[in-house]
Every structure is written in C-alpha cells, then in structure tokens.
Amino acid sequence: MLRFSRSTRRFATPLLFAVVSLIGIGAGCGEDGNEQPEATAAPDASVDADETLGADAALGGDAAVESIRGNRYCEVLVAFLEAGSVEAQVWGTQGLNDCPESAWATVDADAVRDAFGATGAVLNGPRHWLIDEATAEIPSGSPRLFGTLEMRLLATLTLGPGMTSAMPYVERTIRRDSQFTFHAGSEVYELVAPGGSVYVMQSYARIADPDLSASDLPGLGARLALPDGWQYRARTLDAPLVVSTPGEATVVQDELQNTYSRHIVGG
C-alpha cells in the first residue's frame, strides 16, 4: 500500500480518484451527431503489486503524515466503449503536482481522445481534497504529459448502459483499493440516503461553480436540489473516520460535481 501526503510528494505515486463530472457518450455518435471512429479497447488498468511502494518505504518508517486537506488536483477521464458500457480511465495529478492553472489550461480533451484512440475524454477539475490522509494501490505504468501537465493512471470507472456521469445522486463504481482517513476534529460533509447509506465528501469541485470554496460547504445543503428523503449534513468528528474501499469504491456526486464516497460502518 502507498500513502500520499504533502510531506512525501517526491516518493508518492498518486491515488485515484475521483469521479466523473460528465460524459454521456452515445454509442457511435458525438454531441454534434457526427459519427465517431470505432473505439479501441481500453488499455489494462489492473494493479501491479510489484510496482507499488510500501507505505513504510515512502514515509521512512513512523514519519508523521501531514494532512492533504485542501490540496488541489485535476483529473482527465479517458473513456472507451466496452460491450455497451463505458470504461473510463482516471488520470490525475495527485502526488505529482498541484495542477497549476497555467498547465491545466494546456490540456485539450479532443487531443487526449485522439492520442488514446478513445471514444471521448473529459476534463475533471480543478478539485480540492477534504480528506486528511489516503493510502492506495495504484495501476502500474509511468506518468505521461497531458499538454504540459504530468498525470498518472489512478483508477477505472465503469458506467453501465444508459448511465451517464452527469447524473447526480446516482451510485457509480470505481475499481480501486484505497483508504481515506479524516482526522478527529475535522469537519466532514455527508449525504444520507433514505435507506441510511452515508456518503462522505472526499473532494469539492470548482467545475460547475468556479468560486466554490471550503467555507461554503457547511451550508451547502441549502443550494442542493436533494432527491426526496436525502439529507445533507455537516459535523465535526470526535474520532478519526476511515472510509475503506477494498477493491471497489461506491461514489456519488451532487449537481455541483462534488464527490462523495460511501462509508460502511465497520467496513
């Protein structure tokens, strides 16, 4: 397992993550109705344990971990049609850089799509972490440039037939093996579904609202068009909160494209 923190950037390979803000790719057609080239298969994004660093190696033993809460990052989702579903590779800057605005401006979705021979590509950022620590196993492979911005493959998102990533409050599955930790004393923001499922905000986005800030999050529920029976709440933790996702993570987004991970108590 690999741990990522602000104090270990030169060692850390990125985590995942994220979630999509959008796609809605039609089979064989673009948004303008023009037929697109047939998509090639998505390259393998499986985890290679031999390629991952151990947390102790990355941190030098018992080194203290500085919170990454507030850190900025960006992602690009590269989508391929796979037997009627969409497989979206998640490439991100986590652990490599903080996505400088000047470099982010050089990333062109059409150029990325063409370079990968993909069905489509989506820019997903900038975003800011709300977690304090994260550990994850990551896919093998080296970073590559998107424009002038260095990114690395982090995870894979699957969208079933008829599903688009623009749908808020709909569960999606990301293949990743990770653990997010929120420290005691941190404020967390949660969605609670009618059946009792709890989703903890892992990052907020400056995509739909470029001016959204951390100070807006405690009262964000007043802005959200929550489905019937859903609740938004803010609370301060008395003890650390750990969200573990061994193999698969279940995530939702709100209409502002903020991302939440489902937390299973005792999981």
Q: Dump pLDDT digits (tens) for 231-250.
A: 999 999 999 999 988 888 89
Give the tens place of pLDDT for each residue, 98-134. Answer: 999 999 999 999 999 999 999 999 999 999 999 999 8
Is residue 48 pLDDT above 50, yes or no? no
Give the other-Cβ count within 10 Å of 4's Cβ: 26
Cβ 188 vs Cβ 218: under 8 Å: no
pLDDT reading at 156 higher than 60? yes
- Domain holding 157, by residue range, is 2-263
**pLDDT tens for each residue of 59-78:** 223 334 579 999 999 999 99
pLDDT at 56 over 50: no
Whether a cis peptide bond, with omega within 30° of 0, leads into 126 is yes
Whether this model's pTM surpasses 0.85: no
Contacts 24+ apart (CB under 8 A), 31-35: none
The answer to whether 10 and 60 are in contact (CB under 8 A) is no
pLDDT value at residue 95? 87
Nearest to 187 by CA among 205, 214, 169: 214
Question: Phi, psi (5° rounding) for residue 57?
Answer: -65, -40
Transcribe 142-199 into DSSP letters.
--EEETTEEEEEEEEEEE-TT--TT-TT--EEEE-EEEEEE-TT-EEEEEE-TTS-EE
Query: How many structural domains does the chain have?
Result: 1
15-19, 42-46, 171-175, 200-204: lowest mean pLDDT where? 15-19
Greater pLDDT, 160 or 138 = 138
Half-sphere exposure of residue 38, counting CA atoms within 13 Å on the CB side? 2
